[in-house]
Structure 1
Amino acid sequence: MHESREHLQTLTEIRSLMERSSKFLSLSGLSGVSAGLIALVGAAVVAMRLQTGLFTRFQPNPEEIYTQVNHHDQRQFLVTVAVSVLVAALLAGTYFTVRKAKRQGLSVWNQSSQRLLWAMAVPLAAGGVFCLALLYYNLIWLAFPATLIFYGLALHSGSKYTFRDVESLAYCEIGLGLLSLFWPGYNLLTWALGFGVLHIVYGLAMYYKYERTTA
């Protein structure tokens, strides 16, 4: 009986070592929380610029609310907000991830993190170009769900190289993006839910599941 326990413990340790070597496990739940909060701020800024509320349906046609952003300067404003949110979220995420890696005694830049970044980079790059094309042709209302869908695809692609919990977030982002295609009057709301609320919920769940017990 004692030998069986030792063998089980040995197998558990081997599995843990193999997982650490093949997956990037330094992602911090606080990265998701910070990204969600930053996204909500960005959504609020856009709502104020469009002079509409997050819960206000665009009337009478969803496209009409965007006629004021058909000019170059307004499109540039949306791109600026999107890039600012992305950069701020990446900086915050990097900070919390590096901090967690240091506590674990692990390196942030290794083969696992490189595989993760490459897996996510392809759908993110394709989605970025696609969304820029939508902005160029004034299809603003389609850009909101497109960002959710491509981001979800990127998460799904990268989930095999990190916590499997990321896969659940990926399905939620993709599903919300697809729903947003048929619910165009609330594109800004669904965008805020996807990048804001879902990130916060996911981040808190990851923190309490993997980090709080080891902090």
Structure 2
Amino acid sequence: MRPGRRAVTLAMLGAAGVTLAACSSGPPPVTYVLGTPASDSSATVPLAGRPVVEVKPVLVPDYLDTSDIQLRRDGNVVAPSTTGRWAERLSAGVTRAMAAELTRRLPGLVVATTVPAERPARQVLAEIQSFEPRSNGVVVLVGRWRVLDGAARDTLAGESVSLTAPLAGQGDAEVVAAMTRLIEDLAGRIADGVRRTTPGSASRRG
């Protein structure tokens, strides 16, 4: 083997060894999703004739809209968790979890996250400005939401919110649980707005 080729081969083997050592340094991060798991009971619900509520994709700041679970440190420092990650981008997870909770709370309506074939009775717009676990042991959600008339696109209900949930521990699972509670709290407020402005919508709380 020529000296030059031998040196290249040794360098490649060395790089592979470093990569393997890095991969074997610890377990892979746990993957999490937002929201409460759906019930495992069997049920069939007819959808024909029910008003449609279209949930638009939730807007999330770019620095949060990744698959990293971002943790706010002191000052303006955010750092990704090294032991856990999201199964999807945060904006997609928030939209999915919010729609699932609205479905549970509004059984008389059809909640959709895609553009329906017919004009929806109501549209939900939500924007999150901050959604992070803090070093003081709480998760903070700051944002705003609106319920729009699907035809005229007039704002029928809405508010700005600043919500907090305590962390039961410092692990990723506790962070995800607290963030889920806040999304469900936000969805509950939106559901109340939909009920107030949609004739014939059934009420379900909890």
TM norm. shorter chain > 0.5:
no
Compare the two structures and name the one with the higher strand fraction.
2
Q: Which has the larger radius of gyration?
A: 2
* TM-score for both structures, normalised by structure 1: 0.30
